[in-house]
Amino acid sequence: MKKYTFLLAFGLLFFSCDSILDQNLVGSRTDEDYWQTESDLRDAIAGVYGPWATRALGMDDLFFDNQSDDHWRAGDHAEDEEIETYNTVPSNTKIKDTYQYKYEVISRANGVIINAPKVKAAGAISEDSYNSILGQAYFLRAYAYYRLYLIHGQVPIIREENVLNNEYNQPKCESPEVLANFILEDLNIAAGLLPMHNITGSVSKGAAWAVMTSIYMHLAKEYTDSENLNKAIASGKNVIDNYPLAADYLSLFRKGNESLPENLFLMMNDMSWINQELLSKHRGPRPWGMYGFNEPHTDLVNEFETGDKRKKTTIVSDGESVSQAGTIVVHTPGLSNTGHSYFKYMDWVTPETFNHGLNIPFLRAADTYLLVAEAKIRLNGAGAGDAEINAVRKRAGLAPVTKADIKALIHETRVELAGENFRYQNLLRWDKAGIYDLQTFLVKPEKMFPADLGRMKWVRPKNYYQPLPQIEIDNSDGILKQNPDWVN
């Protein structure tokens, strides 16, 4: 039987040496006439980016942050309620869809990793282009596993040899640490291959270093874990030294943001593509052209200091106004249940046309700045992370801090990254390191929507991770086992 390679016309499937947005569509090709030219490899790597611009990853993967104290789910989806109240079931559709699409990324990346050497051996690609494309494949595989690691902890690892031997039905890895180390191996390869600055819209070394830094921080379960904290500082310093913060915070989330060095990995988007109902459209009031999910809590709004420029970019509250392509409108009571909406991803082409073509940042250098600051504070005490914290605060129009402790770091991290899918994973890290006790912290009345009072119970260690999709377990013929805390 012939093997077929299908390249789908998802968001990032258009890519040339000048821009990741310029490329002709391709149909279906067989292995006999594929993997021959540089153009074949460019099409293939664009296809690895593609699933991130689908609903399952571009929108649904962010619903796991509903478990944080930044916002509540809103909307009317039972699967979101299960996630937010820490009562997910293995048959939850978001669990299934986000899991399966990450393995689609992994499958496509494996295809590039396995077959790219054929093109190089044929002399059909330059060394620089080959390294860039192969580095992107390793990064994108690592990033898919990184999200699986954060959400599920232990999952099957599909290596190249498994693909070549048609061995896809694998048990989950032995521990989250095993998965983390596999991701780090891929990231180290990616960082060695990728250029410092790549084609607009595609990843470079900075993205690999940023995820490395995050992995080391998640591995640092002890407050003063010197081995992993020092590794986080080392990888993070590579980001800080080479990827400056953007001068204007709002520019990170508006048209043209693909040219900003701070944005290390973006979900590219365009008004003319098929993926027009994703993150940029689902977070905001329905009367304003959006879907009305993920409404900020007042607790998050109160976290912003007076004069913090990020507040106006991040959140619009009752009584405040925004410009819809020149038309000023007021956020009035009833537009959201909490009295607040995320403004970070709102934009309009005309007063009547919502702009659902914004590029969405998945990784920003500012996150790495703050992770390095946290690692330094945990190792060396208050004040050790002041330089990194103050670089972020300066852009926000705030006075510098001195002797900032872990509490000040947590505050800065929350307001800088609000609504960007980091808060819950950070809370989990801080619980494991003994900084927070989420069993009492996350069930405070101000941390949840009133309708959920008395319904939310966070349990350690069960709620560190989500269950594996039941359909994957059923289809494995007993090979794949459920995470033990989620059995029955």
Cβ-contact 351, 327 below 8 angstroms = yes
pLDDT in tens, 444-462: 999 999 989 988 999 999 9
Give the whole-number percent of the chain exceeding pLDDT 70.
Answer: 92
pTM for the full predicted model: 0.93
**Stretch 193-221: mean pLDDT, rounded?**
96
Is residue 273 scored above 70 in pLDDT? no
pLDDT in tens, 326-356: 999 999 999 999 999 999 989 999 998 888 8
Cβ-contact 258, 268 below 8 angstroms = yes
Instruction: Check residue 405 and give its pLDDT.
Output: 98
Instruction: Check residue 27 and give its pLDDT.
Output: 54
Closest CA to 198 of 20, 48, 357: 20
All structural domains of the chain:
4-194+468-486 (1.25.40.390), 269-358 (no CATH)
Is residue 420 scored above 70 in pLDDT? yes
- Residue 396's H or E segment, with its range, is none
- Give the pair of three-digit tokens for residue 343: 């403004």
**Stretch 155-181: mean pLDDT, rounded?**
97
Chain-centre distance for alpha carbon 104: 16
Closest CA to 140 of 96, 197, 202: 202
pLDDT in tens, 131-142: 999 999 999 999
Q: 32 falls in which pLDDT band (50, 70, 90)?
A: low
Instruction: Check residue 484 and give its pLDDT.
Output: 87
Instruction: Check residue 289 and give its pLDDT.
Output: 86
Instruction: Check residue 8 and give its pLDDT.
Output: 35
Residues 6+ apart with CB under 8 A from 1: none
Q: 400 falls in which pLDDT band (50, 70, 90)?
A: very high
Cβ-contact 125, 118 below 8 angstroms = no
Instruction: Check residue 488 and give its pLDDT.
Output: 66
Q: Is 376 exposed, middle or buried (0-12, 13-18, 19+ CB in 10 A)?
A: buried
**CA–CA distance, 418 with 310 (Å, rounded to integer):** 9
**CA–CA distance, 368 with 233 (Å, rounded to integer):** 9
Instruction: Check residue 76 and give its pLDDT.
Output: 83
Sequential DSSP letters for 372-389: HHHHHHHHH-TTTTHHHH
Is residue 7 scored above 80 in pLDDT? no
pLDDT in tens, 42-85: 999 999 998 998 888 888 898 999 999 999 999 888 999 999 99
